[in-house]
Structure 1
């Protein structure tokens, strides 16, 4: 006997040794072959006497493996017919006129009658429910084309899904149909879950026992930035979750093996990462393997929102701290503190707050043009090993501190690691653990006293309200230093005295005539915001000259003359006069100024600590013809009649001192009054009620100073 090929042996093995008959479609399905290929194999086995076959109905055929027998074995009898009838799947055959020629018992219920009644009846009459269905379409198409086909459809009379394999022949059709309802339910269920998985906004993935991806939905692919799931399937979860993912997962599972919820970052194909919230659970896989199914949610927006809330909370706390510092500075001013006290107070309160690490204040050494330390807190010797310059040609002037001093503007660093301005000192500052900084010029009335530097371990610390408040702090500190310097000058017996002369003063203003008589500028009252009231007297022949001087210098404002007095009195309102502004801002005062025989003379008193060169430079820039005739250290004489006046003045705030001085020099306390309360309020640009409040407070402080007992504390209200 000719030996069998592997393909024929494979086909023969489908039948085993039981002798149970099989239909051609059934063999084709088990071998995963087309029916024609299966039929060819079966026919070749039959030719080799390895199989028996029998036609059933118009064109259907069954095959079976015979038991060992002699070559003269009888043809199959009624038992084989009965076996074919009991095939579990449905089978029927029709002739070319659509008359039923055969059907087995598996699905006889699809026909409305007994075998005896139905055989020979047209298919459409025996099963009218087939009319108009996909089954009818497939049957007719197969009959017409003589090509095998298959169709799957729901069949209502049997309440299930069926797969029909239709095999045509010139004599009719053979139809093999299988109940696939369970498979369809599984497919529908799987499809429903797949649709859910693909439509949810969260990323879903499945890992096998080795931690490799076996499934990812479209959202997960999109979150990771890959083009399609093929790039992820089979890859390790560490590719997107990081190398520590397995350890974190195993550690969490030790506490809850079925609900692991780590939070971390998902790394994308482009190298970027996003914040995700992840939940992972165990999943039993085929073959007893345990995998993981996980859900990840992009929480970038939420994390950023929470970070923004945290930044706002930190900024609010910082703004509150800055407000407390400002209050402490105000109390320091009222407490007659020195400049050193003010600077120390500022640094200590900033360093003690939870918002900042440390702070320091420095000013400029005029000789070296470098920054020198005046006060620091929260740190020790920060400037010891570095040099900060204000020389624009020096690379060490390009940091925040140097720029703040040169430009007079606040300089902030919101992220230290990326700010190249710190590069000259990078090695020095890395040990101080700050992420952001602010360099705030300390100014008042146009005078630069130094720079305040504040450092925070938070990035972007000096944005929004905090940035605005820290900017204001420079002005507050500048005002406090100016007030401290003014009080020092008033109280100190040691002074620096400067005398200036300007020959031909009127000619420098473009005025031709010399005044007939002298002009004296007796008292100067600073009102704040660069505005001053200057009270003086002029002999009758010099009154017009006063008006001409004011007209020649529009910036000096306006003048009011009181002709009734002898000599004639006047008050000059000056706005941002350069000399008065710089002298007052350094705590000094003009002790006397006059114009005699066309020559302008002025005497300035300053505290010994004041930078005299800055004062001289400012006066010489304002009046190039000015000549410094005297620069000397002096001591107030024991017979100075004004020590009490100076002592009382230090108890007043700047505003109280300005209101009281203006009222006195304007004749408000004379009787009859030379200036009414309304006129006085208008000159100070305040409401009458505010004027009287300041006056009463100032009067009470002076009277308290005079009449209270030495141990009785004064009310600073």
Structure 2
């Protein structure tokens, strides 16, 4: 759990005595392990467990640490891809709705600030965080921002737009801080989120074979009082958003899709722009050149798809004469 919370993994030169790897101590001793590395097996949106590597030497070199951490990411991406393919090949999806009145970041924000929050979109951030674009109504945006900024579970927050009665905030949330984060860590995909004075409501999609009772029990360990408000199977053909998301991921890499979604929700394509590339880079925990690279490549791929399918320009429909 410490490796999952840290997001980058743990490396110890004394596996037999390290508290962080106590659960693996017996296996380490039997195998003659001295140094041990434990890194997250994480996909773009959720962690799937940890990868533990033992060595008979006293410690790992920096290069070995980098390679082991990268292996955890690669395994996580492979698991995420396999799960995505499985969901796309399944005719139905299970939609579950959970509610909680306290403990979760957005539930507390809504209650203490007297506002309503609704989800605009969510994208992966840095170190297993998620960036939620939430619409705020009923309270000053600056006040909600300041409250979130002082909350331990929030790693970043900024006002994307403020139109007086309504505002949109980009909120980076750490693992375990919000009910939605806990659902994602157990393999769910967030479809909707809302919060108000009565608490928080999270709608998620999970695999049809998911043991919902076990999932609820797991969520209750971190958020006592959480309840299952609804559960239903939906035909894959009814999942318009899922079909759009699947086609998007077919054309783009996970990082390109995430950056493109973040840019859309943050008003990067509005005129005038509501967020700069530097704002987006800070939200997602990457450098501005990296973000520009992913964004340009994503735009190029989507434009190529649109233009190739358009059939070209009709020579009989010239540009209109705008001089008059």
Scaled by the length of structure 1, what TM-score is found? 0.33
1-structure distance, mates of 2:194, 2:106:
16
1:600–1:475 CA distance, 2 compared to 1 (3 A)? same
Residues 98-135 of structure 1 deviation map (CA, whole Å, 9 limit, x = unaligned):
xxxxxxxxxxxxxxxxxxxxxxxxxxxxxxxxxxxxxx
Give the counterpart of 2:173 among 569, 574, 578.
574
Which residue in the other structure is 2:11 paired with? Answer: none
Which residue in the other structure is 2:188 paired with? Answer: 588
Q: How does 1:103-182 map to 2 (within 5 A)?
A: none
1:645–1:549 CA distance, 2 compared to 1 (3 A)? same
1:698–1:596 CA distance, 2 compared to 1 (3 A)? same
SS at match of 1:557: strand
1-structure distance, mates of 2:105, 2:130:
25
Confirm whether residue 494 of structure 1 aligns to residue 92 of structure 2.
yes
How far 1:668 moved relative to its partner?
0.8
Confirm whether residue 616 of structure 1 aligns to residue 216 of structure 2.
yes
Q: How does 1:247-646 map to 2 (within 5 A)?
A: 407=23, 443-444=41-42, 447-449=47-49, 468=65, 469=67, 473-486=71-84, 488-489=86-87, 493-503=91-101, 518-541=116-139, 543=141, 546-547=144-145, 550=148, 553-561=151-159, 562-564=161-163, 567-578=166-177, 579-585=179-185, 587-608=187-208, 612=212, 615-638=215-238, 640=240, 643-646=243-246
2-structure distance, mates of 1:406, 1:609:
32
1-structure distance, mates of 2:290, 2:209:
36
How far 1:567 moved relative to its partner?
2.3
1-structure distance, mates of 2:52, 2:93:
28
1-structure distance, mates of 2:302, 2:170:
25
CA contact (8 A) 2:111 2:197 kept: no
How far 1:568 moved relative to its partner?
1.6
2-structure distance, mates of 1:601, 1:581:
13
CA contact (8 A) 1:525 1:661 kept: yes
How far 1:602 moved relative to its partner?
1.1
How far 1:574 moved relative to its partner?
1.7
1-structure distance, mates of 2:223, 2:116:
20
1-structure distance, mates of 2:115, 2:135:
11
1:575–1:514 CA distance, 2 compared to 1 (3 A)? closer
How far 1:481 moved relative to its partner?
1.1
CA contact (8 A) 2:106 2:200 kept: no
1:450–1:584 CA distance, 2 compared to 1 (3 A)? same
How far 1:571 moved relative to its partner?
1.5
1:706–1:412 CA distance, 2 compared to 1 (3 A)? farther
- Bigger Rg, which one: 1
1:600–1:580 CA distance, 2 compared to 1 (3 A)? closer
1:518–1:682 CA distance, 2 compared to 1 (3 A)? closer
CA contact (8 A) 2:155 2:172 kept: yes
Work out which structure has the larger RCO, using CA pairs closer than 8 Å and 6 or more positions apart in sequence. Answer: 2
2-structure distance, mates of 1:443, 1:410:
22
SS at match of 1:674: coil
1-structure distance, mates of 2:134, 2:31:
55
Q: RMSD between aligned alpha carbons? A: 4.5
Residues 343-402 of structure 1 deviation map (CA, whole Å, 9 limit, x = unaligned):
xxxxxxxxxxxxxxxxxxxxxxxxxxxxxxxxxxxxxxxxxxxxxxxxxxxxxxxxxxxx
CA contact (8 A) 1:405 1:451 kept: no
CA contact (8 A) 1:532 1:573 kept: yes
Confirm whether residue 659 of structure 1 aligns to residue 259 of structure 2.
yes
Give the counterpart of 1:695 among 290, 295, 306.
295
